[in-house]
Amino acid sequence: MTFNILSILPILVLAGFGMLVLVVDVMSARKLGEKNLLAYLSLAGIVIAAIVSRNSTATTLFSFNETFTIDNYALFFNILFLLSTGLVILISHSYIKREDINHGEYYALLMFSTIGMMLMASGADLLNIFIGLEVMSISIYILTGFKRSKLISNEASLKYFLLGAFATGFLLYGISLVYGTTGTIDLRQIASFVAGKGGVKDPLLLMGMGLIIVGLGFKVASVPFHAWVPDVYEGAPTAVTAFMSVGPKAAAFAAFMRIFLTAFGSSHYEWQKAIWILAVLTMTVGNVVAISQTNIKRMLAYSSIAHAGYLLVALVAANNMGVSGTLFYLLAYIFMNIGAFAIVIVLSQKGDVGMNIDDYAGLGFKHPMLAIAMTLFMFSMAGIPPMAGFVGKFYIFSAAIKSGYVGLAIIGVINSVISVYYYLRITVIMYMKEPVRDFHPLTISPLIVVAIAIAVVGTLHLGIFPSKVMEIAQRSILTLR
Amino acid sequence: MLNLISLVLLFPLIGTAINGLIGKKLRKETVGYIACGAIGMSFFVAILVFFGLLQLPPESRVFEKQLFNWIESGSFKAAAGLQVDPLSSLMILIITGVGFLIHIYSIGYMHHDKGYHRYFCYLNLFTFSMLLLVLGNNFLLMFIGWEAVGLCSYLLIGFWFEKKSASDAAKKAFIVNRVGDFGFALGIMLIFITFDTIDFTGVFHAASQGNIAVGSFTVTIITLLLFMGATGKSAQIPLYTWLPDAMEGPTPVSALIHAATMVTAGVYMIARCNVLFMLSPFTMTVVACIGAATALFAASIGLVQNDIKRVLAYSTVSQLGYMFLACGVGAFTAGVFHLMTHAFFKALLFLGSGSVIHALSGEQDMRKMGGLKKHIPITYRTFLVGTVAIAGIPPFAGFFSKDEILLEAFVRGNFIYWAVGALAALFTAFYMFRLLIMTFHGKSRVDHHAMEHLHESPKNMTVPLKILAVLALLGGFLGIPGASAINGFLSPVFGEHGHVETHGAEACGSHAACLPYLMMVISTGIAIAGIYLAYLMYIKSPELPKKLAERFSLIYKLLLNKYYIDEIYDALFVNPIKKISLLLWKRVDAQLIDGTVNGVAGFVRGFGSVLRLSQTGYVRNYAFYIVAGCIFIIVFVVFGK
């Protein structure tokens, strides 16, 4: 029995700070509206957890009876999750005040959800990954409905919960089938079982694998398990939308890659073809439907579906470049997507008014800095150099070509071209249309400015100097197989 | 001190950023101070770096600073790194030094312009790009600087873009340069294929190790492609046509970009790649021939032009020809030396002409000048120094450098190079004194309107003129035969082949040792002959030029119309391309491609709207999609073999 408290130190830190936030919130209940302390406390928790993660042991560590592992892969994702949660806290602070949902548990739920993500990236057996997924999801179900008085928010929350529970059923069923055929839920033991048989041949095991694809496909928002995404993204508070478009997606991919590369790595022929089709569907539907959106949150929702499609391309390629490219891409995606949502938050008004794409007309002249930042994020998502998104796509598509999936890479590039249309439309509207509304004096809190600045710097830095991060990503994936 | 080198680049970049981002809101004085201050500090650091380099022993005067790894893809590596050696340190001194003076001059010259901050932003950006070009330690970084100076040149030629002639000239400069840049880019690619690196050190080391045979096909192609780039940027035959038109830009820009620095980039590039060029005798011959031909050709056009800046422009083309002639015969030191002196006196001449134009409220036609000597005395005196320097009268700067080129052309090349160079020198002396006489001497032909506003330029314009005059007067002593400081300084870069050892101190015993002195006497004689001809034709018997023009009307017309080269290019290249483009646009693009694209877009949009319908908002529908997808996946995974 191995038990190493150090291995879960980041999780403990987050849990501790989450509960501290709850306690402090209750103790200072009288001073509603003035909850800056809670935000700072949560940020401190994030930073400390990040420091602890960084200082964790450099060698791979198994603990809790080998069900939990801390390796470079998990550490990379830990930093990724903490970064995204940190940025979301920065953009939430003024937003939840404006929307009158400034309750202390908001921050606590963000942190609990992050704990779930970390568990998913660190799980060494299927059950731990499942528990992580549930911890993460349940917090987000609540966060989605955080605007208690708003019908649309409640509806989104309920939809997400019902469908999420439904998809979880598939995942669990898949896990139990895998357990039934292999006799284990430990990823490495499954791997040796599969390798011993010379690949997965048992129909029941194959079915289990397929059901796991469904369960995780729901979380990464892959077509046809994506239908919840636009409705939920639109209904949720914008800051929560930003949160769930990056962190949970990254966590689901972390689990996806760990399960399929570690446990089923030796028989990737069986699952690659299914994911190939999912990737093509996801990219195409995401991009094509995004074109006809008029609400920016829905557009970003479809855009996030499309990005999941690109990431599935890397999963199909399943080579080192593809997997490290996924890590890189997720990091880039955090910067550009949270950045874009930050701008959306700044420009909307109380009650989330001003979410139409046409509301952005003339922004380039009224608020040049915001418009430049938004342009940068859009360019990055469209994959235009020298932004981070370009480099990420470059790695992913070249990984596909390396593995011989030239057709898939071509479909990806065509999709990327289609996406340019709706990303650049924002820029066109910002700079080439006369303003239809007057942006009244925006109240921009310093914290959100910090978040936008970090996102801008990150987007540009990863785009211009990608090699350093890519090196780290390449080192991080060595323990996967 | 060498470590400071990145600061040389940083200051102009900061200046660009400040004036570019918030220059509009700043006061004019502040904008000027920021721009000049940036270049001034850059110049100061360049001096420090120069002395830092001098402290090292001559053979180890190479310093590389790696800034960051930029691109790594397979075996292709490009780092952003700077290289300081005698050649680049001399170049940055010229760029920042002359650049600083021209920045100061610009404060006065551009004072009334509404695009003041834009102007200084571009000018700073240009300086940064030019510094990047000469400091980069690999071909790619050099190419980026190369393209960036091209961009700045485009922006500044078209600075007064409301004027159609200016925006046309800017476009012409950009497009003509594209032709050369295309060659340069191909050359770099071929270098990478051949040497598997684009670092200067790596390439030149491999080339000097004898891995590549002298005169081999590859190296000839590489050097010819590089030279093609040089002909574009440095305005040599056949790509020189953009430079005279580039005079549409503000005059300080002509002085900085189109005389002192950017146009010499081609010379710098060839000097930098001397190891490669020495491996290809054929390319060297091409370089020398093109250089000599350009020198003579451009000088002959300069004989009859009437626009003061155009004369200077053709003169620049011609002087650049000299530099290429020097490089082509292997006398890289002489080429770089002339580059330096030319930067001094040609910047002086351009700024002087700017002062004249400023005084005459924008008049550029020399036929409407004359007798300005007493009205703008400082401009006149400094201009005289520049004119004498370019004409090649000892001990002015131009004499030493031009004389060295002619000597080297004779010793290493052949008599024809020398003869062509000497004839061009005669032309140069003639047209420059023609310009001087028509502008400053004789009776005033200035119209009374301009006469009323006639004034000497303010101090911030005349002081740079004076400083440049001193440099044009004394700069040549750096390369005085026999005790040449510049030869010794540059010899680590060019090795043994850089210059001819002339021990002038020895007694004039043998025939060979006498040659330099004989040459000096001859070239001085040529210069004086040219000046006398100008005196004869424009002061003593002013009716003579008209008579000559009538008598040899064919030649006169040919020269006045610049050999009709622009018209020939139009007929040969521009118009056919325009016609083909029109066809491609109307038929292929507008109908075929647009039709296809719009069709596809319509289809995608329609498809999107249909798919959108599946988004019903009902959970039961969504759950159904999940189940359907699940069935599909399971069927596919389990049975899809």
> What is the mean pLDDT for each group of 10 consecutive residues in chain A (481 residues)?
76 94 81 73 93 72 83 92 96 89 90 96 93 95 92 93 94 94 92 82 89 94 91 93 94 94 84 91 92 90 95 92 94 96 90 84 86 94 91 93 93 92 91 77 85 95 89 88 72
Instruction: Please tell me the distance from the alpha carbon of residue B109 to that of residue B359, in angstroms, as a whole number.
Output: 10
pLDDT tens-digit series, residues B345-404: 999 999 999 999 888 888 888 888 888 888 888 999 999 999 999 998 888 888 888 988
The angle, 0 to 180 degrees and rounded to 10, between the axes of the packed helices B415-440 and B308-328 is: 160
Q: How far A21 CA sits from the closest chain B CA (Å)? A: 35
Nearest CA in chain A to B603: A288
B597 near A CB under 8 A = no
Q: How far A234 CA sits from the closest chain B CA (Å)? A: 12
Q: Which of A292, A349, A393, A271 is nearest to A99 (CA)?
A: A349
Contact B609 A203 (CB under 8 A): no
Instruction: Please tell me the distance from the alpha carbon of residue B263 to that of residue B243, in angstroms, as a whole number.
Output: 9
Token representation of residue B79: 């780092």
Contacts of B502 (CB under 8 A, 6+ apart): B407, B481, B482, B513, B516
Contact indicator for B284, B311 with CB cutoff of 8 Å: no
The angle, 0 to 180 degrees and rounded to 10, between the axes of the packed helices B265-272 and B116-135 is: 10
- In angstroms, how far is the first alpha carbon of chain B from the final one? 69
ipTM: 0.89
Nearest CA in chain B to A470: B72
B619 near A CB under 8 A = yes
- SS3 annotation, B494-534: HHHHHCCCCCCCCCCCCHHHHHHHHHHHHHHHHHHHHHHHH
Give residue B203's identity as a one-letter amino acid code: V
- φ/ψ of B422, rounded to 5, equals -65, -40
Contact indicator for B343, B261 with CB cutoff of 8 Å: yes
pLDDT of B585 above 90? no
Contact B640 A209 (CB under 8 A): no
Q: How far A373 CA sits from the closest chain B CA (Å)? A: 15
Contact A274 B608 (CB under 8 A): no
**Predicted local confidence at residue B506, as pLDDT:** 41
**Predicted local confidence at residue B505, as pLDDT:** 39
Q: What is the DSSP letter of B365?
A: B
- pLDDT: is A312 or B459 the higher one? A312
Residues of A in contact with B610 (CB under 8 A): none
Q: How far A228 CA sits from the closest chain B CA (Å)? A: 7
Give residue B15's identity as a one-letter amino acid code: G
Q: Which of A24, A174, A30, A175 is nearest to A108 (CA)?
A: A24
Task: Give CA B154 to chain center in angstroms.
Answer: 12
> Exposure string (b/e) for A147-169, b if CB count within 10 Å is 16 or more?
beebeebbbbbbbbbbbbebbbe
- Per-residue confidence at B479, pLDDT binned at 50, 70, 90? confident
Nearest to B634 among A162, A207, A225 (CB): A207
Nearest CA in chain A to B604: A288
Contact A210 B623 (CB under 8 A): no
Residues of B in contact with A214 (CB under 8 A): 626, 629-630, 633
Nearest to A288 among B608, B625, B638 (CB): B608
Instruction: Please tell me the distance from the alpha carbon of residue B174 to that of residue B156, in angstroms, as a whole number.
Output: 11
Instruction: Please tell me the distance from the alpha carbon of residue A103 to that of residue B608, in angstroms, as a whole number.
Output: 39
**Predicted local confidence at residue A439, as pLDDT:** 67
B611 near A CB under 8 A = yes
Tell me the residues of A at the B interface, defined by beta carbons under 8 Å apart.
159, 162-163, 166-167, 170, 203, 206-207, 209-211, 213-214, 217-218, 223-225, 227-228, 230-231, 270-271, 273-274, 277-278, 285, 288-292, 418, 421, 465, 467
DSSP bridge pairs for B364? none
pLDDT of B43 above 80? yes
Angle ∠(B226,B229,B234) on CA atoms, nearest 5: 120
B21 near A CB under 8 A = no
Q: What is the CA radius of gyration of chain B?
A: 28
Contact A231 B617 (CB under 8 A): yes
- φ/ψ of B372, rounded to 5, equals -80, -10
Query: Alpha carbon of A448 to those of A91, A102, A342, A370, B146: distances in Å?
Result: 5, 16, 7, 12, 40
Task: Give CA B41 to chain center in angstroms.
Answer: 23
Give residue B482's identity as a one-letter amino acid code: G
Nearest CA in chain B to A221: B626
Instruction: Please tell me the distance from the alpha carbon of residue A78 to that of residue A330, in angstroms, as a whole number.
Output: 12
Contact B636 A207 (CB under 8 A): no
Instruction: Please tell me the distance from the alpha carbon of residue A39 to that of residue A19, in angstroms, as a whole number.
Output: 13
Instruction: Please tell me the distance from the alpha carbon of residue B361 to that of residue B630, in angstroms, as a whole number.
Output: 82
Nearest CA in chain A to B67: A465
- Per-residue confidence at B44, pLDDT binned at 50, 70, 90? very high
Instruction: Please tell me the distance from the alpha carbon of residue A244 to that of residue A239, in angstroms, as a whole number.
Output: 9
Angle ∠(B27,B32,B34) on CA atoms, nearest 5: 95
Residue of A213, A218, A294, A397 for testing the chain B interface, max B β-carbons within 10 Å? A213
Contact indicator for A344, A355 with CB cutoff of 8 Å: yes
Q: How far B188 CA sits from the closest chain A CA (Å)? A: 22
Percent helix / strand / coil, chain B, rounded to 5? 80, 5, 20
- In angstroms, how far is the first alpha carbon of chain A from the final one? 23
Q: What size, in residues, is chain B? A: 641
Contact B633 A210 (CB under 8 A): yes
CB atoms within 10 A of CB B165: 11
Asked which of B16-20, B119-123, B589-593 is least confident by mean pLDDT, the reply is B589-593
Residue of B638, B639, B641 for testing the chain A interface, max A β-carbons within 10 Å? B638
Asked which of A22-31, B60-69, B86-95, B491-500 is least confident by mean pLDDT, the reply is B491-500
Contact A274 B628 (CB under 8 A): no
**Predicted local confidence at residue B504, as pLDDT:** 41
Contact B626 A270 (CB under 8 A): no
pLDDT of B187 above 90? yes
Nearest to B637 among A206, A228, A467 (CB): A206
What percent of chain B shows pLDDT beyond 70? Answer: 96
Q: What is the DSSP letter of B82?
A: E
Using CA of residue A380, residue A303, residue A112, residue A103, what is the dihedral sign? Answer: positive
Residues of B in contact with A181 (CB under 8 A): none
Nearest to B608 among A170, A207, A292 (CB): A292
**Cis peptide before A237, with omega less than 30 degrees from 0?**
no
Residues of A in contact with B637 (CB under 8 A): 206-207, 209-210, 213, 270-271, 273-274
Contact B633 A292 (CB under 8 A): no
Residues of A in contact with B598 (CB under 8 A): none
- φ/ψ of B82, rounded to 5, equals -110, 145
- pLDDT: is A353 or B418 the higher one? B418
Q: Which of B596, B598, B573, B594 is nearest to B584 (CA)?
A: B594
Instruction: Please tell me the distance from the alpha carbon of residue A469 to that of residue B513, in angstroms, as a whole number.
Output: 64
**Predicted local confidence at residue A145, as pLDDT:** 93
Contact B633 A273 (CB under 8 A): no
Contact A162 B619 (CB under 8 A): yes
Domain ranges of chain A: 5-476
Contact A291 B629 (CB under 8 A): no
Kindly report each contact of residues B498-505 with a partner whose C-beta sits within 8 Å and lies 24 or more positions away, as own/partner. B498/B274, B498/B331, B498/B332, B498/B333, B499/B331, B499/B332, B499/B333, B499/B334, B499/B404, B499/B408, B500/B331, B500/B407, B500/B408, B500/B411, B500/B412, B502/B407
Contact B634 A228 (CB under 8 A): no
- Per-residue confidence at B508, pLDDT binned at 50, 70, 90? very low
Contact indicator for B121, B103 with CB cutoff of 8 Å: no
Contact indicator for A219, A179 with CB cutoff of 8 Å: no
Q: How far B250 CA sits from the closest chain A CA (Å)? A: 30
Residues of A in contact with B612 (CB under 8 A): 289, 292
Residue A467 CB-density burial (10 A; 0-12 exposed, 13-18 middle, 19+ buried): middle
Instruction: Please tell me the distance from the alpha carbon of residue B599 to that of residue B612, in angstroms, as a whole number.
Output: 20
Token representation of residue B383: 């201009």
Instruction: Please tell me the distance from the alpha carbon of residue B608 to that of residue B595, in angstroms, as a whole number.
Output: 20
Contact B614 A227 (CB under 8 A): yes
Instruction: Please tell me the distance from the alpha carbon of residue B135 to that of residue B8, in angstroms, as a whole number.
Output: 10
Q: Which pTM was predicted? A: 0.74
Residues of B in contact with A218 (CB under 8 A): 626
- Per-residue confidence at B540, pLDDT binned at 50, 70, 90? confident
Nearest to B68 among A290, A418, A465 (CB): A465
Token representation of residue B124: 């700073």
Q: How far B370 CA sits from the closest chain A CA (Å)? A: 51
Q: What is the mean pLDDT of residues B141-163?
A: 92
Contact B636 A274 (CB under 8 A): yes
Q: How far A216 CA sits from the closest chain B CA (Å)? A: 12
Residue carrying structure tokens 């790594």: B72
pLDDT tens-digit series, residues B294-308: 999 999 999 888 899
Q: Which of A124, A5, A145 is nearest to A67 (CA)?
A: A124
Residue of B626, B631, B632 for testing the chain A interface, max A β-carbons within 10 Å? B626
Residues of A in contact with B67 (CB under 8 A): none
- Per-residue confidence at B322, pLDDT binned at 50, 70, 90? very high
Contact indicator for B115, B159 with CB cutoff of 8 Å: yes
Mean pLDDT of chain B: 87
Instruction: Please give the helix or strand (H or E) that residue B73 lies within, else none.
Output: strand B63-73
Contact B638 A228 (CB under 8 A): no
Contact indicator for A250, A81 with CB cutoff of 8 Å: yes
Q: What is the DSSP letter of A259?
A: I
B74 near A CB under 8 A = no
